[in-house]
Structure 1
Amino acid sequence: MAATQDILLKLILSLVIGGALGAEREYRSKSAGFRTITLICLGATIFTIFSQIIGGSSNPDRIASNIVTGIGFVGAGVIFKGDSTSKVNGITTAAMIWVTAALGVAIGAGYLLIAGITTLMILVVLFAFSLVEERIDSFNQLRNYRIVCPFENETLHRYETLFKSHHLRFKRTRQGKSAENLLTGEWLVQGSEKNHRHVIHELMRDPTVRELEF
């Protein structure tokens, strides 16, 4: 009976911790949300519990040791390339899946206090650190600019001069000319949010710019 009560306590704690972390992902509308993260935590917990029961004292990690390998496939499924050539989405959610599985293993192994403290630390990283990240991003943003304009000699260099005048670093990634005599240029541009705003404002007022993406 005591063993059953201990298992139930671990499963309840796993449900609470997985639910708390999953709620954060659900709040941010991520691909792995409330139910997924909760199930991952519960699954890792029960795998660890039965690994100890089946393996006994001689080989208690016979099942739990495969959790790290298995969870990697789940995490890889939420990582995908964004529209921007420089952006990959889902990295944080994949890391959340990985650390949630680790918490499930900790709970299943009986390290309940450590699992609880680690959960609080994770929530601090997710909420408090996001404010720091936003602050850093305002000073250094990487954007993908796409400009379409009528074909003229030195046209693209004119936009690059504009980037330089606003202290933005850039790299031309693509250029091409269409049958309609339109020139397309794409750049990876890096700099502060304020400088990006100034450049975008000037480009939007430029009558020669037919299309603008940023």
Structure 2
Amino acid sequence: MLLGGAIGLEREASDKPAGLRTHMLVAGAAALVVALSDVMVQRFNTELGAQLVRSDPVRVMEAVITGVSFLGAGTIIRRGPERQVEGLTTAASLLLATAVGVCVALSQFLLAAGVTVMALVTLRLVGRVARGIR
């Protein structure tokens, strides 16, 4: 949740619709769902005494990403007379916070921290460069 919060803090500072709390909750929820899927399979197999329940990690990832994609879609809007699309970067940052949460759940802490730093550089520094080009 802390790494998701770092991404969310940048979005909050940029006055975007999904900020600190949203990114923290998304990263935490992603980590929780991934961790609980493994725990749930182990528990059912222990109680049933056999390997009757299996988990497909790819499907767990698909479910988490699909759920967060609906949240991200809520941040995307069209504004102004030219109907400019806004919120795509925030939607992408929510998806990235999800991936960071999954990394943490899978004990990939260095990868999670590295991706968070890269996201912050992208959102802050590359964002300034992009605005300077326009």
**Deviations for 1:70-107, whole angstroms, at most 9, x for unmatched residues?**
11111101100011325111111000111111111111
Identical positions, percent = 33
Distance 2:89 2:117 in 1: 17
Q: Give the number of the structure whose residues are more often strand, by fraction.
A: 1
* Structure 1: gaps (5+ residues): 1-14, 138-214
Pairs within 5 Å for 1:70-149: 70-137=67-134
- Structure with more of its chain in helix, by fraction: 2
Contact 1:79/1:88 (8 A) holds in 2: yes
What is the distance in 1 between the residues matched to 2:92 and 2:61? 19
1:8 corresponds in structure 2 to none
Taking the TM superposition and a 5 Å limit, the aligned residue runs for 1:58-69 are 58-59=54-55, 61=57, 63-69=60-66
1:211 corresponding residue in structure 2: none
The count of residues paired between Structure 1 and Structure 2 equals 123
Three-state SS of the structure 1 residue aligned to 2:23 is helix
2:30 is the counterpart of 1:44: yes
Task: Note the residue ranges of structure 2 that are not aligned, 5 or more in a row.
Answer: 43-50
1:140-168: per-residue Cα shift (whole Å, max 9, x none)?
A: xxxxxxxxxxxxxxxxxxxxxxxxxxxxx
Letter in 2 for 1:96: S
What is the DSSP-based 3-state SS (H/G/I as helix, E as strand, rest coil) of the residue aligned with 1:81? strand
Q: What's the offset of the Cα at 1:55?
A: 2.8
Report the alpha carbon displacement of residue 33 of structure 1 after superposing the two structures with TM.
1.0
Tell me if structure 2 keeps the 8 A contact 1:44–1:101: yes
TM-score (norm 2): 0.84
Tell me how far apart the structure 1 counterparts of residues 115 and 81 of structure 2 sit (CA, whole Å).
34
Q: Is the 8 A contact 1:19 1:34 kept in 2?
A: yes
**Aligned counterparts, 1:164-175, within 5 A:** none
SS of residue in 2 equivalent to 1:77: helix
**TM-score relative to the length of structure 1:** 0.54
Aligned to 1:24: 10
| Structure number with bigger Rg | 1
Q: Which has the higher contact order (CA 8 A, sep 6+)?
A: 2
Instruction: Give the secondary structure class of the aligned counterpart of 1:88.
Output: strand
Q: CA RMSD in A?
A: 1.7
Stretches (4+) displaced over 2 A? 55-58, 60-65
